[in-house]
Amino acid sequence: MKCPDLKAVAGTKVTCTARDGDGKDLSIPVTVLKADATSITWKFERV
């Protein structure tokens, strides 16, 4: 899976890309749910 740089700011969204087992391209939306000085919580969506 490849993702562009993702800022550690709640609400930031990017789309990561990958390939499935059959070689089909996949797009995976990713959102930062919360971030503080010691941790980041991401949400990877299924599409």
Amino acid residing at 29: P
Residue with tokens 């740089």: 5
pLDDT attached to residue 37:
92
Angular region, 35: left φ>0, alpha ψ -120 to 50, beta rest: beta
pLDDT tens across the length of the chain (47 residues): 999 988 899 999 999 999 999 999 999 999 999 999 999 999 999 87
3-class DSSP string for the chain: CECCCCCCCCCCEEEEEEECCCCCEEEEEEEEEEECCCCEEEEECCC
The pTM for the full model equals: 0.77
